[in-house]
Amino acid sequence: RTAYLNGQFLPLDEARVPVMDRGFLFADGIYEVAAVLHGRLVDNAGHLARLDRSLAEIGIRNPHTAEEWERLETQLVEKNAVREGLVYIQVTRGVAERDFSFPKGDVAPTVVMFTQEKSIVNNPMAETGARAITVPDLRWKRRDIKSVALLAQVLAKQQAAEAGVAEAFMVEDGVVTEGSSSTVFIVTRAGALVTRPLSHAILPGITRKAVLALAKETSLAFEERLINARELPEAAEAFYTSASAFVMPVVEIDGKALGDGRPGPVARRMRELYFAFAE
């Protein structure tokens, strides 16, 4: 596999970052993940806009224009002959003597990119539906920044893995924030699609935005409001969205089946609509 590191394409297993990198020492950096379908990047302008915003929010200069990023990503996808999968980008504040405050002078950010092959469309889990558990949200208060500090999400996903389920829905003060690596949607028994409004409490999902636009285009009623954790077992349907799952129907939460325990019509429809959008 070929990776990209600071201006160079090289074999992934030869890509090295110094231990004094602030990403390693402080998780002082941000990342992006975009899907690849039929060898093309999906909704990449949104991902690159969020990358730029994440960098600006933590005061790292963006080393590339959107055009440059896209060219580098496309080259990497081609070098790895990825038809379906993901492109991962990480930018950290670079290498400097260990000190919490930003390094003085012009330290070059560290830029890393690699690809992963993954079956997103023909994921068998989408046929049966995924199961989820709820866990407390242990994260910091700026979850709108796609920070590489992911310890709370690592622990949440591990809890899900140990429970034998696919995703952990994080709950704070009795309301759902988001999945450990996804945005949460429910469909109420009245048929309305619901997801949490954007704020510092959640990541502004690029898939979330596309799904809401598709709901609007197809005149499906939706609401952006807080979802009480108590609404989850009562929901007609649920699904989660991300660049790596697209739209994933959820059929069970904390051991309780939703509806008839199979992927619901709204989740299946949104998944199909999203495929058509991503094509």
- Annotated catalytic sites, by residue? 146
Rounded to the nearest whole angstrom, what is the least distance from the CB of residue 257 to ligand PDD in the complex? 25
Of residues 4 and 31, the one with the C-beta less far from ligand PDD: 31
Rounded to the nearest whole angstrom, what is the least distance from the CB of residue 116 to ligand PDD in the complex? 10
**Which residue of this chain has its Cβ atom nearest to ligand PDD in the complex?**
207
End-to-end CA separation in angstroms for the chain: 25
Rounded to the nearest whole angstrom, what is the least distance from the CB of residue 107 to ligand PDD in the complex? 26
Rounded to the nearest whole angstrom, what is the least distance from the CB of residue 146 to ligand PDD in the complex? 7
234 is written with which tokens?
């009562």
Distance CA 272, CA 267 (A): 9
Of residues 102 and 277, the one with the C-beta less far from ligand PDD: 277
Distance CA 134, CA 239 (A): 14
> From its phi and psi, is residue 35 left (phi > 0), alpha (psi between -120 and 50) or beta?
beta
What are the residues whose beta carbons fall under 8 Å from the beta carbon of 220, sequence distance 6 or more?
193, 266, 269
Q: For helices 44-57 and 66-79, give the axis angle rounded to 10 degrees.
A: 120
Of residues 115 and 241, the one with the C-beta less far from ligand PDD: 241
- Count how many Cα atoms sit within 13 Å of the Cα of residue 65 in the half-sphere of its side chain: 3
Of residues 33 and 96, the one with the C-beta less far from ligand PDD: 33
Distance CA 257, CA 248 (A): 15
Residues lying near ligand PDD in the complex (CB under 6 A): 33, 178, 181-183, 203, 205-208, 241-244
Distance CA 161, CA 255 (A): 14
